[in-house]
Structure 1
Amino acid sequence: MSATAERPVRIAVQLQPQHAPDYRLLRDAVRRSEDAGVDVVFNWDHFYPLYGDPDGAHFECWTMLAAWAEQTERVEIGALVTCNSYRNPDLLADMARTVDHISGGRLILGLGSGWFERDYTEYGYEFGTKGSRLDALGDSLERIENRLARLTPAPTRDIPVLLGGGGERKTLRHVARHADIWHSFVDVETYRHKSAVLAAHCADVGRDPGEIERSTEIGGAESPADARRMAESLHAEGVTLFTVGVNGPDYPLELVESLVAWRDGH
């Protein structure tokens, strides 16, 4: 199955919850994003800014998603991505189910193994190793699936699971087993290789790789035309969900709006 043939192009914005000292700036950015026609609005799951002033303003991920669930009407919402280490997986499943209900079935459950060491040390989590964090992610995915199946009331739908990363031995194996969406940060040549590795993992577990939506971030684009060229090249390889990250306090949407227009031309 060709992802390009079977799935529509979707455009997402990641409103990075940093450097916006007044939450109203984020609320306004969510409103502008939905009005601009995006399909998905993401945030991220960190406790400190990832760039700019390391001690700048920052807000927490999941309380924000609950607010977005009430504020928005059409867009899907989620974290790109939730750090698996920061919450008990059964609790996270319940949180996701609750935001799913608040939003009327518009949550994407984005998950990753975690990497930003300052979050861990400042908040008292064990950082471990890359391998131990990936192993923990696999265990948590099983627990999340089991808990979601036991909650009352049940989620409004099978909540889509997005997994981010490209590690060939563990991450892509988790994607093959558990993900509805695979998010990567790669160029075309690397994507082709990673996609082939994912297909091999899918074969090992008896899954059609075409069932997994392909997602990427349009990073480093210097102009709307540049963003569209990047999206075109990856769309030709089967990627259908494209995210532009924007930073506070202004949250400019010019590149996002350009990609929405490009989407509408497909």
Structure 2
Amino acid sequence: MTSAARRPVRIGVQIAPQHAGYSTIRGVAAELEGLGVDILFNWDHFFPLSGDPDGLHFESWTMLAALAEQTDRVEIGALVNCNSYRNANLQADMARTIDHISAKDTGVGRFIFGTGSGWFERDYDEYGYEFGTVGRRLDSLAENLPVIEKRWGELNPAPTRKIPVLIGGGGEKKTLRIVARHADIWHSFSDASTLERKLGILAEHGAAVGRDTSEIEISTEIAKRSVAEVEEQFDLGATMFTVGITGPHYDLARVHDWLAWRDAKNA
């Protein structure tokens, strides 16, 4: 892909909703929007994923609605929603509602529907969901996405735009097939060599379903990667790069660095 043909580089920051009070999270979100990040993400879990397993933690979707009202420019979403936790039609309606909240005076929403099949067993056990198997959870995601898309076409009022669908995960047999059918954005934690292999597999799935997968935006997590490593991902076509930060003290130093890198790429 030539630089003239590629999408602009975007930086997303995943604010882990753990180990901090909500006023702190609200302040970090405001600071990040002021710095110029492109997207604010949280995650859809009920307990911390690092640090004290019983530490402070907040729920994803209610926080996203608050961020939609608080912010004016950044896109917002979960990285990622857990498909298992909510009925498919309800997910669609919640996404549409946050889309409208985020539109404010512009008329165009800023919500990204990031989703995945779920994996954190404690969430399932403590909140009463059936954990099942990896395969069954992926099958459920594949079954629910058409339901969600259909509901978006039936809601009144309709979404303000085609809500972008981000799918997280790198499973080569099922996940990438779902990505090929439904995703506007594919997110993974792949290094360059893994990303190159998986992009080839994604293209094969796209050919099988009649879709040109070059239209899918490629997103990777870079919080612990070097510039050289990220340059390799960029050369393979990745243009969305996410940086995870966590409480109690959200460190924005790396965010500053990656925003400067983004701006140089987009100059």
TM-score normalised over the length of structure 2: 0.95
Partner of residue 68, structure 1: 67
The verdict on how the C-alpha distance between 1:125 and 1:3 changes in structure 2, with shifts beyond 3 A counting, is farther
Deviation at 1:4, TM superposition (A): 7.8
Partner of residue 109, structure 1: 113
Gaps of 5+ in 1: none
Alignment size in residue pairs: 260
CA-to-aligned-CA distance 1:70-116 (integer Å, 9 cap, x gap): 00000000000000000001001000000000001100000000000
Task: Assess if the C-alpha contact under 8 Å between 1:11 and 1:259 holds in 2.
Answer: yes
The one-letter amino acid paired with 1:46 is H
Does residue 141 of structure 2 align to residue 137 of structure 1?
Answer: yes
The one-letter amino acid paired with 1:141 is L
The one-letter amino acid paired with 1:38 is V
Q: State the distance in 1 between where 2:242 and 2:172 align.
A: 22
Task: Assess if the C-alpha contact under 8 Å between 1:69 and 1:102 holds in 2.
Answer: yes
Does residue 35 of structure 2 align to residue 31 of structure 1?
Answer: no
Name the SS of the counterpart of 1:62 in structure 2. Answer: helix
Does residue 245 of structure 2 align to residue 246 of structure 1?
Answer: yes
The one-letter amino acid paired with 1:121 is D
Partner of residue 169, structure 1: 173
The one-letter amino acid paired with 1:219 is A
Name the SS of the counterpart of 2:52 in structure 1. Answer: coil
Deviation at 1:2, TM superposition (A): 6.0
Q: State the distance in 1 between where 2:58 and 2:201 align.
A: 36
Task: Assess if the C-alpha contact under 8 Å between 1:4 and 1:238 holds in 2.
Answer: no
Name the SS of the counterpart of 2:148 in structure 1. Answer: helix
1:160 to 164, 167, 171: 164
Does residue 82 of structure 2 align to residue 83 of structure 1?
Answer: yes
The verdict on how the C-alpha distance between 1:3 and 1:122 changes in structure 2, with shifts beyond 3 A counting, is farther
Greater relative contact order, per chain length (Cα 8 Å cut-off, separation 6+): 1
Deviation at 1:230, TM superposition (A): 2.7
Q: State the distance in 2 between where 1:56 and 1:126 align.
A: 24
Task: Assess if the C-alpha contact under 8 Å between 1:18 and 1:59 holds in 2.
Answer: yes
Task: Assess if the C-alpha contact under 8 Å between 1:3 and 1:210 holds in 2.
Answer: no
Instruction: State the Cα RMSD in Å.
Output: 1.2
The one-letter amino acid paired with 2:223 is G
Name the SS of the counterpart of 1:51 in structure 2. Answer: coil
The one-letter amino acid paired with 2:249 is D
Partner of residue 56, structure 2: 57
CA-to-aligned-CA distance 1:144-173 (integer Å, 9 cap, x gap): 001111000000000000000011111000
Task: Assess if the C-alpha contact under 8 Å between 2:186 and 2:216 holds in 1.
Answer: yes
Does residue 218 of structure 2 align to residue 214 of structure 1?
Answer: yes
Q: How does 1:169-208 map to 2 (within 5 A)?
A: 169-208=173-212
Deviation at 1:3, TM superposition (A): 8.6
Task: Assess if the C-alpha contact under 8 Å between 1:66 and 1:102 holds in 2.
Answer: yes
Gaps of 5+ in 2: 104-108
Q: State the distance in 1 between where 2:4 and 2:55 align.
A: 40
Q: State the distance in 1 between where 2:252 and 2:179 align.
A: 30
CA-to-aligned-CA distance 1:24-54 (integer Å, 9 cap, x gap): 0000010111011100000000000001000
Name the SS of the counterpart of 1:186 in structure 2. Answer: coil
Does residue 233 of structure 2 align to residue 234 of structure 1?
Answer: yes
CA-to-aligned-CA distance 1:109-141 (integer Å, 9 cap, x gap): 000000000000000000000000000000110
Task: Assess if the C-alpha contact under 8 Å between 2:116 and 2:141 holds in 1.
Answer: yes
Q: State the distance in 2 between where 1:8 and 1:46 align.
A: 30
TM-score normalised over the length of structure 1: 0.96
